[in-house]
Structure 1
Amino acid sequence: MSTTNDIRAAFLDYFAANGHQIVPSSSLVPRNDPTLLFTNAGMVQFKNVFTGQETRPYSRATTAQKVVRAGGKHNDLDNVGYTARHHTFFEMMGNFSFGDYFKADAIEFAWTLITRNFGLPRDRLLATVYADDEEAADLWRKVAGLPDERIIRIGTADNFWRMGDTGPCGPCSEIFFDHGPDVPGGPPGSPDEDGDRFVEIWNLVFMQFFEDPPGVRSPLPRPSIDTGMGLERFAAIMQGKRDNYDTDTMRALILASAEATGQDPDGPFRASHRVVADHLRSTSFLIADGVLPSKDGRGYVLRRIMRRAMRHLHMMGTRETVFHRLVPALVRQMGAAYPELVQAEALIRETMRGEEERFKAMLDRGLALLADETARLGDGQPLPGDVAFKLYDTFGFPLDLTQDALRGSSHDVDVTGFDRAMQVQRERARAAWSGSGDSATETVWFEARDRFGASEFLGYATEQADAEIQAIVTDGRSVTEAPAGTEIALLLNQTPFYGESGGQVGDTGLITAPGLRIAVTDTQKRLGDLMVHYGTVVEGTVRVGQAVTATVDHDRRSAIRAHHSATHLLHEALRRRLGAHVTQKGSLNAPDRLRFDISQPRPLTPEEIADVEAEVNARIRENSPVVTRPMSQEEAVAQGAMALFGEKYGDEVRVVFMGAPEDDRPAWSIELCGGTHVNRTGDIGLFRITSEAGVSAGIRRIEAVTGKSAEQAAVATEQRLGQMAAMLRVSAAEAPERLAVILDERKVMERQISDLQRKLASGGSDGAQAETINGIGFVARDVGDLPARELKPLADSLRQQVGSGVVALVSTAEGKGSVVVAVTSDLTDRLDAVELVRLASAAMGGKGGGGRRDMAQAGGPDIARSEAALAAVRGAVAAAA
């Protein structure tokens, strides 16, 4: 028997031997098709190659592509577990020709592989062709030798493929396997085609035309081939099974589910084991590709899949978390072909475990409510929509989970009533919104939020993605298009751009399409989960519904990431060095620096700053992985996670783990954070604290740089040290010691100069040289460049020499007028130094002054009037005498 792994390998090897490049599966999150929720076909990663927007170094390719169909128009979720061939996750084997070979070779490749290499009997195979495609019918006769009765013409859209309303298109040809007359069902195109007798195993798309406008087709200059073979279906045939869930891979997962639950794999819970096996695959692969459970978008679909599997596990009697224990069985089956499963196994298990714990906490209460409500219903009466909404809003039951729980009963759900209740909640949220900014603009974003839902953020995994323009806002109003030169705000259905929040600044970059170029200068979060891109249309006209490519400025994002991750390490280092009282009070993570405000009552000492900086750099050198996991807020806090200042958290949070394990803690730093981060601490590069200062009572601010900015800071410091050393005529190592000697020498010289200046100002050995005004001694001096700080000591010295009288001194040092007046104690009842100094100040264009009756000081801007200032004091003394 051929195992599923053997079949996959044989398929790829066969086409590789026939000149095809084996291309790894692309992510389940499509990067080049904004219209898709998940990758749903093998050709998705080659879409731009088929349209001519991208070239590859090969013209033939083959893949084993991961596919999920559980949301949007391709949604098989409700049927999974109850049919033989429906899956949320499956593998699509394919071979592709980009203008190389066409119908004849494609048919021959498929026929040879199926009949010769895999050995399927020719008489059990038949083909369908599009009704008008006589060329394909002739080839099936010539290449495969099929008689006309086994070449079936189908005239519907099932056998004509289109990439969209316009674009490449062409007829299809399918290969079917006949299980035999003992199986119910008719051939394709017959009234009984939905039976199980005839199973489609291969679809060949002949990309032959270009349709534009709709209904008008012209031949493509380079016709191409796109094929797909469902691995699970083909493996069932190769293994002699009629049910995909009986193949080796699926059976192994079913047996793992049976062992974990203690329930017979083929007993009354047969469908539940199938749900668990299928959903185990889709859940694990989605998490491995960066999708995490959330309330919107892809994360919401993932949560629906996970919770559906968990409910079936609950139905089988499990009361502990079980789902995550099945991951090793999947890794054993598929890890060799898809190494991302092995790499992400720990993350997958942790995510599943946390989600199941949260789900179990509310499942019993939700199911009890459902049971109470259905007990009140009459036979065939639908469950009221408001009850279904309460299950969704209060207990986290998606609508389809409630519908699945009612499967087999006589009740359905009033979906219209559910939608009505959802709309009422949205209106309440809008009425309660207390946002900022222009109210008209707020209304625009509310309308966009109601219409489109939350923005799908792809920036944790990529910096470039294709997207679709959902809304354009200019001057506070929504428009359908905007020409070059217009300043706009854009909403995309999915984006790699991070909107400013949690201290991390918003991304910048480009949004482009053929003939269109938009420079994004900022990205902001609006209403909590809308990523709004602000910028200018540089070239072309942007239109709502337009397909574009959004590209983040890589260098800027990398620098921001490094600063944000360094902030986490800095926070932990500060707490460990200073104490647990240190908490974050604000932050900025920009491309050129980080700013971190903390609760701290005193300045950090140089030794503390050096220790913290050294600790952060030690963690950087460890180059340990940076891991993010979704958790409940309570669980995160229980693990020691710190919440960031100013951040609003929901029931589920994103937790960032950094640093090598230490003691009993799973990581050195654990914080709740929704920002973008480096993959490993070593990516930060170098960390340097550039300043530490107080910003308010009890709050200190630390500024630092990392990576290139830190290198530039270090280089600048070294250059300044080199310049200083050159000026001192010593080596850089000797510069500090030499500078200390010079500073000491300067202090000695300054004291000597000050002494000489005071001596000169006081008249040297001739004493105070006072004049007498009506019996009052008076000394008036313009002391020139004597520093202002020397005026009071000099005035006091002169006052002592005078014995009885008034001293007035004016300094014009450094271009500033300073005046000091001193009065001996025996005259203070007649003369007030404060009043006298104010007269002098006014004469020099100043005002005010202060001090005591015996000594006062003031200033004035007009230094040319120093003699007038002294004259004003002289006049006042004369008047008082």
Structure 2
Amino acid sequence: MSTTNAEDDTPVLEWPMEKVRDTFKNYFVEQHGHVFWPSSPCVPVDDPTLLFTNAGMNQYKPLFLGTCDPNLEMSKLTRAVNSQKCIRAGGKHNDLDDVGKDVYHHTFFEMLGNWSFGDYFKAGAIDMAWQCLTVTFGLDPERLYATYFAGDELTPVDEEARQLWLRYLPDDRVLPFDARDNFWEMGATGPCGPCTEIHYDRIGGRDASKLVNADLPDVMEIWNVVFIQYNREADGSLRPLPAQHVDTGMGFERLTSILQNVDSNYDTDIFIPLFTAIQNITGARPYAKKVGKEDPEYIDMAYRVVADHIRTLCFAITDGAVPSNDGRGYVLRRVLRRAVRYGRQNLGAELGFFAKLVPAFVDVMGSAFPEVVEKQEYVTGIIQEEEESFSRTLDKGLQKFNELAEKVGADQIFSGADAHFLYTSMGFPVDLTELMAEEKGMTLNKEEFEAKMQEEHDISQAAHLAKMAGGSGKDMRLVAEQTSYLVGQNISATDDAAKYVWHEELADCVVKACFIGRNETEDMIGFVGSISPESSAVGIVLDKSSFYAEAGGQVYDVGTLTSSTGAVVKITNVQAYGQFVLHLGEVASGTLSVGDTVKCSVDYVRRAPIASNHTMTHVLNHALREVLIKRPEKESGKTSTLTVDQKGSLVDETKLRFDFSWSGQLTPEQLAEVEKLCMDRIVNAVPVDAYVAPLGDAQQISSLRAVFGEKYPDPVRVVAVSDHAVPEMLANPQDSQWNEYSVEFCGGTHLTNTKEAEAFVLLAEEGIAKGIRRITAITTGEAKKAIALANEFESKLTAAEVVQGDDLESTVKQLSAELDGLDIAAVKKMQFREQLATMTKQVLAYKKQKLAGGSKVVMRFDFGVEGKVAKSVMTAFGKQVKDKALLLVTADPEADRFMVIAGAPKAMKDLNCKAWIEAATDGLDAKGGGKPDSAQYQVSGVEAVDTVLEKARKF
């Protein structure tokens, strides 16, 4: 509803979206003692089972499962309220395919929620919901309907909820439904319970009871209240939980549309500013609310798609995801490309329109979610790059789609294999192909497409499970039913404080559970009383442990468990599931039983380089920020809007890998600076201090670096690579001198001094996704070996400087091949390649003297298949020989492939370089392209080189 501004007759909303959100929060905080618990990121940082946060309860799962770390502030919650950022695009909950086709589906939405963790239950939840809707928001009680669980053969009817609702509603508006609508379960086993839904009739003045749950926009569910009161056992039975919980969720967009008295969520002030921006940027006609046949050109559908998808992309990228080829990155790429296609094809937008919508999105959502304001420039850059990338192939892809569509038979079924081709070759997400097929009256063979995608997924999943199960083929994960079982057996959390102790065996550890794999026992849960060599892959839960479980990017410890009865278990993997540490491996000898006492023996020789790589990852993080942000700020005197944020890491015994946000490739000078800073820290023998401090105090340290969205315990472990101990920093946390040091929250194992790392070599820097770079580096013996190899190769280059003629050609070939296989510093490798390129030019000058007559030169010169080197060689030839065309073949025998590159003077109109190469490689597996004056192809199988040279000479 709205009123009119007396000064300029503009409408003034009685319930603007900010007021709706704040009113809900304040109702539960001020009237019912809830704690406002901020929305978690819509990209989960600690739940690999989810592509995106898809419900308000996601971040509270540890509380429902009884696995919450008691050191986390969350563990103290009894009542909470918030508005959770949710994305439902991909995975079990996926609304992507429906967005745009109607006026009520979204991929991004906010879920208003209130929770009780062992506090109030059904009566309290229903009373609060009714008062909130009818009193606080003033909804007409005559338009409200409630549903409850009708029961089934295993579960009783929720008569309690029904009776509670009859205090507010007549019997004909309290409706029973089955488990599909009114029973919630976390998994096949585990916490579960009946739910009650509140539905609202937009029209009113009628009996709409038969329209409830009919998927109609005029009678819609607005609030779902889940009563978590049972545990589903493996046999299907229900056991009452010792603590009962309430989990609710109300659609913010739906509630806002009701309060603003409009027909759909898209007609609210949540979306109207976005529609205005879309119209201004694209020049399309105004949004007209049309659906289906009323919208034959799909213009209004395009408005809804673009507006919804810019919200999803902006929130997801802000919270740490980026478009890519797999996982949640692939979902985001699908979302973005779907929006770009509708904008370009249906709204007449120009290239780059989608990224221009980011400011309008920030204006709408920035006050409620300030993180989108902070990340606006970064998000714009990512979307712009991805949009440009897709736009380059969009027209070609549409042309290919139309060609394939013309071949569709009378059955009007578009091939799943063709859809897979469009995805792999043109970057067309399958839902985009499906929509285009629908627009032509066709049906996509989705099953065929999914079968091809499943093949790829199965290969990847098999590799992961094989690693976990040591090749046994078992599923050795602990999921909801396993952790619930352990909690039900009153098994306490594993005390793993001893993982920070070095070179000591931990005795008197008690075996609390033996695990042989999911589905490997009659109850399908997987726990047994004892294990032996015949058990194959096994998992063991102890009361305490000195093993480090894989976490925070650091690989797990390995070692042995030896029981007092003589059993020996080789531990090859250690994983943490909630509060339990699972030691994975095989029984080498004897029998190990629940209740036995064991001794933990960690392989500390293996752990040492892992700790070195982990500590130097912290140093690298600090060095990157110093070189890319701080130094430019000092030089310019301006504060940078750019950030260098950690996006992932991996440290094992051979290397460290660090992913970070940055928009482009680092220059050789920047890489050299970063490497030098890291090496300086080692030379200067800087102490490494680990200290456990109150979370709130630690967060005040000026130089602290934390991973966005990560939940940190309270107290938290602080690791500082600094001449000053952490307690000194805590005493004066805002002292600017701390900015000179690396300070991070971290639960990993570390060195005590950087000198123990011995050396640091930065091996590679590369892009892995839009706006995400990756550095790979090594320390200790591996780094010293790399330095020695670089010095040795440099000596060979120096010796080659005096070689001339045919000998120089063979020397350059040999050194180029050798350099390709060297693991040495990236900067050194670049320098050596430049020196070899100079020598290559000398070889070409010598070859020029031997050339006689003809307009075409065909030659083989092996320097690998480096595109940049090949381009440099061709440029050098063109400068020295201005009247001849060159076709050059260079092979990489180890990779069993070769490159064919051709170039011709622009004045040579009678030669087409692309046709020249295609003729020379005819019948071979050659991939590439080019123009009449230059072309480049790569070919598999070096045995074909001579044939290619011969055909090239005859062309």
* In structure 2, C-alpha distance between the alignment counterparts of 1:155 and 1:479, rounded to whole Å: 43
Residue 313 (structure 2) pairs with residue 283 (structure 1): yes
The CA deviation at 1:193 is 1.7
**CA distances 1:824-856 after superposition (whole Å, capped 9, x unpaired):** xxxxxxxxxxxxxxxxxxxxxxxxxxxxxxxxx
* In structure 2, C-alpha distance between the alignment counterparts of 1:6 and 1:442, rounded to whole Å: 49
Higher relative contact order (CA 8 A, sep 6+): 2
State the match for 2:92 in structure 1: 73
With normalisation by structure 2, the TM-score equals 0.51
State the match for 1:562 in structure 2: 618
* In structure 1, C-alpha distance between the alignment counterparts of 2:139 and 2:459, rounded to whole Å: 61
Q: Secondary structure at the match of 1:71?
A: coil
* In structure 2, C-alpha distance between the alignment counterparts of 1:156 and 1:443, rounded to whole Å: 35
State the match for 1:134 in structure 2: 159
* In structure 2, C-alpha distance between the alignment counterparts of 1:43 and 1:327, rounded to whole Å: 28
Change in Cα spacing, 1:130 to 1:293, as seen in structure 2 (3 Å) is: same
Q: Secondary structure at the match of 1:266?
A: coil
The CA deviation at 1:217 is 1.6
Contact 2:321 2:328 in 1 (8 A): yes
Contact 2:787 2:824 in 1 (8 A): yes
Change in Cα spacing, 1:357 to 1:446, as seen in structure 2 (3 Å) is: farther
Change in Cα spacing, 1:188 to 1:330, as seen in structure 2 (3 Å) is: farther
**CA distances 1:723-766 after superposition (whole Å, capped 9, x unpaired):** xxxxxxxxxxxxxxxxxxxxxxxxxxxxxxxxxxxxxxxxxxxx
Change in Cα spacing, 1:263 to 1:591, as seen in structure 2 (3 Å) is: same
**CA distances 1:508-533 after superposition (whole Å, capped 9, x unpaired):** 99522479535799xxxxxxxxxxxx
Change in Cα spacing, 1:357 to 1:482, as seen in structure 2 (3 Å) is: same
Report the more deviating stretch, 511-520 or 317-326.
511-520
State the match for 2:58 in structure 1: 44
* In structure 2, C-alpha distance between the alignment counterparts of 1:266 and 1:48, rounded to whole Å: 44
Contact 1:260 1:322 in 2 (8 A): yes
Q: Secondary structure at the match of 2:271?
A: helix
Quote the sequence identity (%): 36
The CA deviation at 1:213 is 3.0
Residue 120 (structure 2) pairs with residue 120 (structure 1): no
Contact 2:313 2:336 in 1 (8 A): yes
* In structure 2, C-alpha distance between the alignment counterparts of 1:114 and 1:364, rounded to whole Å: 50
**CA distances 1:407-460 after superposition (whole Å, capped 9, x unpaired):** 322112223443565578899999xxxx9xxxx9999999999xxxxxxxxxxx
* In structure 1, C-alpha distance between the alignment counterparts of 2:136 and 2:172, rounded to whole Å: 25
* In structure 1, C-alpha distance between the alignment counterparts of 2:468 and 2:66, rounded to whole Å: 40
**CA distances 1:218-265 after superposition (whole Å, capped 9, x unpaired):** 322332211110100111100101211111111211221121111123
Residue 443 (structure 2) pairs with residue 412 (structure 1): yes
* In structure 2, C-alpha distance between the alignment counterparts of 1:561 and 1:345, rounded to whole Å: 28
1:724-763 paired onto structure 2 within 5 Å: none
Residue 185 (structure 2) pairs with residue 171 (structure 1): no
1:495-534 paired onto structure 2 within 5 Å: 496-497=552-553, 511-513=575-577, 517-518=581-582
The CA deviation at 1:214 is 4.4
Residue 303 (structure 2) pairs with residue 273 (structure 1): yes
Report the more deviating stretch, 420-429 or 511-520.
420-429
1:467-616 paired onto structure 2 within 5 Å: 481-482=538-539, 496-497=552-553, 511-513=575-577, 517-518=581-582, 559-565=615-621
The CA deviation at 1:589 is 8.8
Contact 1:560 1:591 in 2 (8 A): no
The CA deviation at 1:345 is 1.2
Q: Secondary structure at the match of 2:270?
A: helix
C-alpha RMSD of the superposition: 5.3
Residue type at the aligned position of 2:181:
D
The CA deviation at 1:137 is 1.7
State the match for 2:184 in structure 1: 161
Within the candidate set 349, 359, 369, 2:390 is matched to 359
The CA deviation at 1:389 is 1.8
The CA deviation at 1:292 is 1.1
Number of aligned pairs?
A: 566
Within the candidate set 334, 351, 355, 1:304 is matched to 334
Contact 1:563 1:593 in 2 (8 A): no
Within the candidate set 215, 218, 224, 2:245 is matched to 224
State the match for 2:209 in structure 1: 187
* In structure 2, C-alpha distance between the alignment counterparts of 1:3 and 1:158, rounded to whole Å: 31
Q: Secondary structure at the match of 2:444?
A: coil
Residue 277 (structure 2) pairs with residue 253 (structure 1): no
Residue 406 (structure 2) pairs with residue 375 (structure 1): yes
The CA deviation at 1:164 is 1.7
Contact 1:211 1:218 in 2 (8 A): yes
Report the more deviating stretch, 61-70 or 200-209.
200-209
Contact 2:185 2:191 in 1 (8 A): yes
**CA distances 1:126-184 after superposition (whole Å, capped 9, x unpaired):** 11112222221221122x2x11111112233311111222222221111111122699x
* In structure 1, C-alpha distance between the alignment counterparts of 2:414 and 2:242, rounded to whole Å: 56
**CA distances 1:763-797 after superposition (whole Å, capped 9, x unpaired):** xxxxxxxxxxxxxxxxxxxxxxxxxxxxxxxxxxx
Contact 2:41 2:85 in 1 (8 A): yes
The CA deviation at 1:693 is 7.2
Change in Cα spacing, 1:645 to 1:211, as seen in structure 2 (3 Å) is: closer
Within the candidate set 34, 52, 57, 2:76 is matched to 57
Q: Is the radius of gyration larger for structure 1 or structure 2?
A: 1
Residue 417 (structure 2) pairs with residue 395 (structure 1): no
**CA distances 1:5-47 after superposition (whole Å, capped 9, x unpaired):** 1101110011001100000001223345443221111111111
* In structure 2, C-alpha distance between the alignment counterparts of 1:654 and 1:406, rounded to whole Å: 33
Residue 172 (structure 2) pairs with residue 149 (structure 1): yes
Q: Secondary structure at the match of 1:280?
A: helix
Residue 233 (structure 2) pairs with residue 212 (structure 1): yes
State the match for 2:791 in structure 1: 696
1:670-689 paired onto structure 2 within 5 Å: 673=775
State the match for 1:295 in structure 2: 325
* In structure 2, C-alpha distance between the alignment counterparts of 1:429 and 1:30, rounded to whole Å: 21
Change in Cα spacing, 1:122 to 1:495, as seen in structure 2 (3 Å) is: same
Change in Cα spacing, 1:484 to 1:231, as seen in structure 2 (3 Å) is: closer
The CA deviation at 1:306 is 1.2
The CA deviation at 1:567 is 7.3
Within the candidate set 26, 33, 41, 1:19 is matched to 33
Change in Cα spacing, 1:141 to 1:344, as seen in structure 2 (3 Å) is: same
Change in Cα spacing, 1:514 to 1:30, as seen in structure 2 (3 Å) is: closer
**CA distances 1:649-695 after superposition (whole Å, capped 9, x unpaired):** 77x56654xxxxxxxxxxxxxxx64789xxxxxxxxxxxx9x98785
The CA deviation at 1:58 is 2.9
Gaps spanning 5+ residues in structure 1: where? 450-467, 486-491, 501-507, 522-536, 542-551, 577-587, 600-605, 627-642, 657-671, 677-688, 704-881
Change in Cα spacing, 1:390 to 1:264, as seen in structure 2 (3 Å) is: same
The CA deviation at 1:290 is 0.7
Contact 1:152 1:188 in 2 (8 A): no
Q: Secondary structure at the match of 1:224?
A: strand
* In structure 2, C-alpha distance between the alignment counterparts of 1:424 and 1:442, rounded to whole Å: 20
Residue type at the aligned position of 1:237:
I
* In structure 2, C-alpha distance between the alignment counterparts of 1:100 and 1:119, rounded to whole Å: 27
Gaps spanning 5+ residues in structure 2: where? 1-13, 151-156, 289-296, 476-515, 521-533, 543-548, 557-571, 586-590, 596-606, 633-649, 658-667, 670-675, 685-721, 723-735, 745-760, 779-783, 796-822, 826-955
* In structure 2, C-alpha distance between the alignment counterparts of 1:264 and 1:389, rounded to whole Å: 35
Q: Secondary structure at the match of 1:248?
A: coil
Change in Cα spacing, 1:15 to 1:3, as seen in structure 2 (3 Å) is: same
Residue 264 (structure 2) pairs with residue 243 (structure 1): yes
Change in Cα spacing, 1:314 to 1:130, as seen in structure 2 (3 Å) is: same
Residue 410 (structure 2) pairs with residue 385 (structure 1): no
Contact 1:209 1:217 in 2 (8 A): yes
With normalisation by structure 1, the TM-score equals 0.55
Residue 97 (structure 2) pairs with residue 83 (structure 1): no
State the match for 1:5 in structure 2: 18
